[in-house]
């Protein structure tokens, strides 16, 4: 994948981004843990179009910050500490690899530079899957693992909000992650491998579309608007609910329903293969449908 610099970040930072972008590059394996967890269509399209893909260097700044964190951790290693050690294991004839941020005292820790919004509202299912697959790699290599945890560092943390907002996190939060059994992890890996290998045999248009959750898309909202008001009187999750509210409201003649379409955030802003995706072209940007790719 080509790394571009259209935003003209300083050359030393651009070089650092290019050098530290992916620690697993060149590894002889079927896929990494991170790739194993990608939606089927994203996984396949990235492989089929890898020579045409590019990423803007400024979008990899937080990845670079993660690399800087690893260098600092390496300087504080003890005899019982492993940082960024890439391990490999074979499942159903396929090599899976993964690099853990920190293994210490039988604890696997993954550092994430993330937003406060993501910490409060996101579904952390992917975090649980990722750490348990790392745990599977380590236990397969003979390391004992007692505990899994995310160490979240908030890039948009605010001291003033931390003082006044009840649910606002500390600048760094340790988030425990439920640990699976080895059998559960192995079953999960085999299931994902089967789906990905099947998807690799299909033409692009036949691969299962990403789910709404995988597209990072909320539900549509039906806003009840009262004439003369800028803010919604009520927000509903379905058109039927909105109509029922208007029908029984004393001010029903002054009310209208405004559909607020949700956005597929991943498709629009974070998917590197969206222009090769039939769902993106046909549903989000139909003007592209007849374009040759």
What pLDDT sits at residue 25? Answer: 52
Q: For residue 134, give the nearest of 173, 172, 92, 88 by alpha carbon.
A: 88
CA-to-CA distance for 210 and 190, rounded, in angstroms? 20
- Structural domain spans, the chain: 2-206, 221-288
Residue 197 has pLDDT above 90, yes or no: yes
pLDDT value at position 154?
A: 92
Question: What's the confidence (pLDDT) of residue 27?
Answer: 58
pLDDT of 242 > 90? The answer is: yes
pLDDT band at 289 (very low <50, low <70, confident <90, very high): low
pLDDT of 292 strictly over 50: no
Indicate the helix (H) or strand (E) that contains 86: strand 85-91
pLDDT tens-digit series, residues 74-129: 777 776 777 778 899 999 999 999 988 899 999 999 999 888 888 887 778 999 99
179 — pLDDT class (breaks 50, 70, 90): very high
- CA angle, residues 207, 124, 116, in degrees to nearest 5: 120
Check residue 90 and give its pLDDT: 96
- The helix/strand/coil state of 66 is helix
Please give the model's pTM, rounded to 2 decimal places: 0.84
Report helix, strand or coil for 40: helix
Helix 61-75, helix 11-20: angle, nearest 10: 70
Q: Is the pLDDT of residue 22 over 70?
A: no
pLDDT in tens, 47-64: 999 999 999 999 988 888
81, 103 contact by CB (below 8 A): yes
Topology of domain 2-206, per CATH? Lambda Exonuclease; Chain A (3.90.320)
Give the N- to C-terminal CA distance of the chain in Å, as an integer: 18
Percent of the chain with pLDDT over 70: 94
Asked if the model's pLDDT at residue 293 lies above 70, the reply is no
**C-alpha radius of gyration, the chain, whole number:** 23
User: Which pLDDT value is given to residue 287?
Assistant: 77
Instruction: Check pLDDT > 60 for residue 243.
Output: yes
* Alpha carbon separation from 186 to 74, 136, 183 (Å, rounded): 30, 8, 5
The model's pLDDT over 198-241, given as tens digits with 9 standing for 90+, comes to 999 999 999 999 999 999 898 999 999 999 899 999 999 999 99
Secondary structure of the chain: what % helix, strand, coil (to 5)? 45, 20, 35
Other C-beta atoms closer than 10 Å to the C-beta of 88 total: 15
């Amino acid at each position: 994948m080509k790394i571009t610099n259209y935003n003209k970040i300083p050359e030393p930072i651009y070089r650092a981004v290019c050098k530290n972008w992916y620690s697993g590059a060149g590894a002889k394996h079927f896929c990494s843990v991170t790739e194993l967890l990608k939606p089927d269509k994203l996984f396949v399209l990235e492989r089929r179009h890898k020579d045409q893909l590019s990423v803007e260097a400024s979008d990899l700044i937080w990845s670079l910050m993660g690399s800087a964190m690893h260098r600092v951790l390496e300087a504080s290693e003890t005899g019982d500490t492993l940082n960024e050690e890439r391990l490999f294991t074979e499942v159903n004839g396929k090599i899976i690899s993964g690099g853990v941020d920190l293994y210490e005292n039988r604890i696997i820790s993954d550092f994430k530079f993330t937003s406060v919004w993501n910490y409060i509202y996101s579904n952390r299912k992917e975090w649980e899957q990722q750490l348990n697959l790392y745990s599977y790699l380590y236990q397969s290599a003979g390391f004992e693992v007692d505990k899994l945890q995310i160490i979240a560092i908030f890039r948009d943390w605010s001291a003033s909000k931390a003082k006044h907002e009840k649910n606002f996190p500390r600048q760094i939060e340790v988030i425990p992650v439920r640990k699976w059994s080895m059998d559960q992890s192995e079953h999960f890996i085999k299931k994902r491998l089967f789906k990905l290998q099947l998807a690799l045999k299909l033409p692009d248009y036949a691969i299962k579309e990403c789910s709404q959750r995988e597209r990072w898309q909320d539900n549509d909202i039906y806003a009840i608007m009262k004439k003369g008001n800028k803010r919604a009187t009520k927000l509903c999750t379905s058109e039927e609910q909105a109509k029922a509210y208007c029908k029984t409201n004393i001010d029903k003649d002054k009310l209208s329903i405004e559909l607020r379409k949700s956005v597929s955030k991943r498709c629009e802003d974070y998917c590197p293969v969206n222009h090769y995706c039939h769902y993106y072209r046909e549903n989000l940007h139909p003007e592209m449908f007849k374009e040759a790719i």
